Structure 1
Amino acid sequence: MDFKLSKEHRALQEKAREFTEQVLFPYEMEVEENNGLSPESHKYINGQVMEWGFNATNHSKEHGGTGYTLFEQALISEQLGMSTGAIWDAVPQPSFPMKFGTKEQIEEYLIPTCQCKRRDAYAITEADAGSDPTMCQTTAVKCDGGYKINGEKWYVTVGNIADYLLVHTHIDGDPNKATVFFVEKDTPGVSIKRTPEFTHHFAFKHPEFLFEDVVVDESKILKGIGEGFNMTKDWFVEARLGIAARCVGGAERVLKEANDFAANRVQGDRVIRDYQVIEHMLVDMTMDIMAAKSLLYRVCWEISGDMDRKLKHARASAIKLWCSEMVNRVTDKGVQILGGRGYMRENAVERLWRDQRVDRIWEGTSEIQRNVIGGQIKKRGIELYTGWAYEE
């Protein structure tokens, strides 16, 4: 067994680190002070994304992306996750299910999105449908000209800058006919109900959208009627792995900041890291990151191969649960070590403390992940999680 990163993977990791520090870090305080990224800054970062070759890491070169494996995507996302204000979202990963589009859909939507010329937003969550998309109330009914969509979607991340949406609906209100439509944001009947503010200062917004008698052509259906639920679950796998990787990166930055501070902050005639209580916090933070990173690399490497779809879902739930809870433990200790400085918004540790709280909620809460894992244990046994990959 050889767990070392290859020379190529180390080079990719270093490139992503340099990109994050040189391109993203300088805009952190703009996001914090202005509660968002200006159009000019966003345009500049988009240009840098293309120049550095980090556009659409999750899509093939044939479709205008960079064609990285899930493991390589994790290496990149880990570094991007060190930035605050979720500026990592200025490095777009077009929604995974779009690869199932028709030739016309790929040319109209996927390729220009992979080239940073367009931007998508996935509209799933509703007031009464969060982690369980089967509770979706947004409907699509056959009509003259295609389908008529009615409903409301919440927390549509980057919905303020996206020019089109992927809208998860139920045909005729039937959950067995879950269907995703491409919907241009300027289509008559599409409107933003409101744009709520959240704990973090995010580079972009999460508007609530209304769909009132929105007519879309049948050609805007992605993959087919009834395919929406499986596509959304597949999207969740990719999204959860991305969250896990960014959580590891965020935790690493917090640990570095806390470790450096503890090595230089003097209280009682000695640096505070010489106090055992501080040293033990640093140890716990380090061990948390070590365990999470080991899990992240292992699972992303496994999923990059040929793995059963249900097994991918099961493993993605585990990694998302562990890493999102880990980063909250680490950031809380980081704030404590920095004391009053750790509570100042000008400090990256404080910003990450706010940023990372949502990771235990979006793309499936920690409680939902435990339900998924518990169900898998009942069906497949504990070896699914405690065993080790091997070849027959």
Structure 2
Amino acid sequence: MDLELSPQEKALSVKARDFCDQVLIPLELAVDEHGELPMDRRAAVRQQVRDWGFAGINHSKEDGGLGLTMLEQTVIEEQLGRVTNGLWSCVWRPPVSLKFGTEAQKRAYLQPACHGERRGCFAITEENAGSDPRQVEMSATRKGDRWVLNGEKWFVTSYNASDFIIAHAHVDGDPDKPTLFLVDKPAAGLVHLRSPKFMHNFAFDHAELRFENVELGADKVLGEIGQGFELTKDWFVEARLQIASHTVGAAIRAAEIANDYAANRVQFGRPIRDFQAIDFMLADMAVEIFAAKTMLYRVAWEIDRKLDRKLVHARASALKLYCSEMAGRVIDKALQILGGRGYMRENPVERLYRDIRVDRIWEGTSEIQRLVIAGQIRKRGFETYAGWV
């Protein structure tokens, strides 16, 4: 087994780190001050993403993307995870469900989204439907040859940076008919209720929306009637790998900052890393990152080798669970090593501490991941996680 990254993968990692250092990290304080990436800077950042060659990293060349492997995407996403305030979202990843669209839908949505000419956001969560998507109340009903959507959605990430929405609704209110619909902005009956503030700041917003008799043509159904949950599961797998990559990158940046500080901060006549209490924290941080990164790259490698889709879903849950919780532990230790300086908003570790907390919640809470994992053990046995496929 060859565990060494290829020259192409190494080059992509270096390039992504340079992009973060030169383009995204200089924007961190502005985003933290304004709560979002200022509107007057968004077009320039979008062009820089194109100029650096990171447009559409998660789609095939045939669909307008870069045709990268999952491992190549992972080395890029890990570096993007080093930035604070969700600035990694400036590097767009058109929703994976778009690849199941018709050729006309791909031309209208996926291809321009890969090029950065359009952007879509995903609307699935509701006030009473989070971890259990069968509780979705948003309905889609037929009206002649058209569809009518009614309902509300919460936590629609990057709404104010997007010009279309992929909305998850139940046809005729039937939870056995979950279906995805493409909704262009603006749309008659689409109401932006608010974009609440959260513990973290983020490049773009997280909106709450109301759909009031929003009418759509038959060509706006993405996939088949009743296929919405399956397409959403594919999106969740990709999103969970993305979160795992980001949390590993965030943990590494925090650990590097803490390690440098411990080597240079002198107390009682010695660098504080000379004290076992600090050195042991750094050792524990290193081991946790080592384990998480090993798991991350294994799962990405398995996806590229066409591992069974159900096993991928099972392992993506374990990956998201471990990496998101690992990052919380590592960044907490990093802040402790930095002391009062780590608690200052001007310090990246303070921002990472706020940023990383949501990764145990969105795209499936830690508790949901444990349910998935336990269910897989019951169905398939411990070999799912203890074996090697």
Q: Please tell me whether the aligned partners of residues 55 and 92 of structure 1 are also in contact (alpha carbons under 8 angstroms).
A: yes
Give the Cα–Cα distance (whole angstroms) in 2 for the partners of residues 339 and 3 of structure 1.
Answer: 37
Tell me which residue corresponds to 2:190. 190
SS of residue paired to 2:200: coil
Q: Please tell me whether the aligned partners of residues 16 and 79 of structure 1 are also in contact (alpha carbons under 8 angstroms).
A: yes
Give the Cα–Cα distance (whole angstroms) in 2 for the partners of residues 28 and 224 of structure 1.
Answer: 41
Q: Please tell me whether the aligned partners of residues 145 and 216 of structure 1 are also in contact (alpha carbons under 8 angstroms).
A: no
Q: How does 1:249-288 map to 2 (within 5 A)?
A: 249-288=249-288
What letter corresponds to residue 264 of structure 1 in structure 2? N
Tell me which residue corresponds to 1:316. 316
Q: Please tell me whether the aligned partners of residues 155 and 208 of structure 1 are also in contact (alpha carbons under 8 angstroms).
A: yes
Q: Deviations over 1:225-251 (max 9, x none)?
A: 011000000100000000000000000
User: How far 1:263 moved relative to its partner?
Assistant: 0.3
Q: TM-score, normalised by structure 1?
A: 0.98
Q: How does 1:204-243 map to 2 (within 5 A)?
A: 204-243=204-243
SS of residue paired to 2:9: helix
Give the Cα–Cα distance (whole angstroms) in 1 for the partners of residues 3 and 340 of structure 2.
Answer: 40
Give the Cα–Cα distance (whole angstroms) in 2 for the partners of residues 336 and 41 of structure 1.
Answer: 34
Q: How does 1:16-31 map to 2 (within 5 A)?
A: 16-31=16-31
In structure 2, runs of 5+ residues without a counterpart are none
What letter corresponds to residue 115 of structure 1 in structure 2? H
User: How far 1:28 moved relative to its partner?
Assistant: 0.5
User: How far 1:31 moved relative to its partner?
Assistant: 0.4
What letter corresponds to residue 299 of structure 1 in structure 2? V
User: How far 1:185 moved relative to its partner?
Assistant: 2.2
SS of residue paired to 1:388: coil
Q: Deviations over 1:297-346 (max 9, x none)?
A: 00111012212221111011010000000000001001100000000000
Aligned length: 389
Q: Which runs of 4+ in 1 moved over 6 A?
A: none
Tell me which residue corresponds to 1:244. 244
Give the Cα–Cα distance (whole angstroms) in 2 for the partners of residues 208 and 273 of structure 1.
Answer: 47
Pair 1:94 & 2:90 matched:
no
Give the Cα–Cα distance (whole angstroms) in 1 for the partners of residues 71 and 275 of structure 2.
Answer: 39
User: How far 1:24 moved relative to its partner?
Assistant: 0.6
Give the Cα–Cα distance (whole angstroms) in 1 for the partners of residues 79 and 269 of structure 2.
Answer: 36
What letter corresponds to residue 317 of structure 1 in structure 2? S
What letter corresponds to residue 49 of structure 1 in structure 2? V
Tell me which residue corresponds to 1:141. 141
Tell me which residue corresponds to 2:66. 66
Give the Cα–Cα distance (whole angstroms) in 2 for the partners of residues 90 and 214 of structure 1.
Answer: 29
User: How far 1:223 moved relative to its partner?
Assistant: 1.1
Give the Cα–Cα distance (whole angstroms) in 1 for the partners of residues 7 and 118 of structure 2.
Answer: 34
Q: How does 1:18-167 map to 2 (within 5 A)?
A: 18-167=18-167
Give the Cα–Cα distance (whole angstroms) in 2 for the partners of residues 16 and 172 of structure 1.
Answer: 45
Give the Cα–Cα distance (whole angstroms) in 1 for the partners of residues 115 and 189 of structure 2.
Answer: 28
What letter corresponds to residue 34 of structure 1 in structure 2? H
In structure 1, runs of 5+ residues without a counterpart are none
| Stretch moving more, 57-66 or 315-324 | 57-66
User: How far 1:145 moved relative to its partner?
Assistant: 4.6
SS of residue paired to 1:94: coil
Pair 1:296 & 2:296 matched:
yes
Give the Cα–Cα distance (whole angstroms) in 2 for the partners of residues 43 and 63 of structure 1.
Answer: 23
Q: Deviations over 1:143-166 (max 9, x none)?
A: 135111000000000011211100
What letter corresponds to residue 153 of structure 2 in structure 1? K
Give the Cα–Cα distance (whole angstroms) in 2 for the partners of residues 146 and 309 of structure 1.
Answer: 34
Give the Cα–Cα distance (whole angstroms) in 2 for the partners of residues 7 and 188 of structure 1.
Answer: 50
Give the Cα–Cα distance (whole angstroms) in 2 for the partners of residues 185 and 197 of structure 1.
Answer: 22
Tell me which residue corresponds to 1:385. 385
Q: Please tell me whether the aligned partners of residues 121 and 166 of structure 1 are also in contact (alpha carbons under 8 angstroms).
A: yes
Give the Cα–Cα distance (whole angstroms) in 2 for the partners of residues 238 and 69 of structure 1.
Answer: 12
User: What is the percent sequence identity of the aligned residues?
Assistant: 55
Give the Cα–Cα distance (whole angstroms) in 1 for the partners of residues 135 and 218 of structure 2.
Answer: 23
